[in-house]
Amino acid sequence: MKKSYKKGLSFGLTSAVITTMGLVVGLNSGTGSKLAIVSGILIIALADSFSDSLGIHISEESDKKNKSRHVWEATIITFLSKFLSTLTFVIPFLFFSLKTSSFISIAWGIILLSVLSFQVGKQGKGNPYRVVGEHLLIAIIVIILSYLLGNIISKIIL
């Protein structure tokens, strides 16, 4: 796989999973509203995908070694991987209760992140299981903090 594709895919997918799991958990604990969660997912699918792809674009442009084609490949792959991955989190909310959908979303995010992390770990020099563990630890921290923040916000606002 081309370096620009790897960069865009790994960044976009990681960002989609961490951001969307945090959003789902935070909005669920803060609002308990399926509408708020689905709306939030759709909004970040669009806005955050453009934001992240522009961030990758500017980052890649700042490296004078990168050719224009590499920059645009990384940009487009980042957008598509972030956008499409984020959209998959909507699916459980169309068919299941809020509580079940939230658990499915967390499980789905952990699976996606684990598979990606394992692949990245296999390509590196270290132990791929350690890489998976590190990345899942960060995801768990995001989930816990998002849950706590949602609770705090609901107590302050409501």
Q: What is the pLDDT of residue 143?
A: 97
Domain boundaries, the chain: 3-157
The whole-angstrom separation of Cα 46 and Cα 121 is 29
Q: What is the pLDDT of residues 69-109, one digit of tens each?
A: 888 988 999 999 999 999 999 999 999 999 999 999 999 99
> In the structure encoding, which two tokens stand for residue 141, read together?
């921290």
| Closest listed residue to residue 84, CA positions, set 153, 15, 6 | 15
**Global pTM?**
0.91
Give the angle 34-40-45 at the CA atoms, nearest 5°: 130
For 34, list phi and psi in degrees, rounded to 5: -65, -40
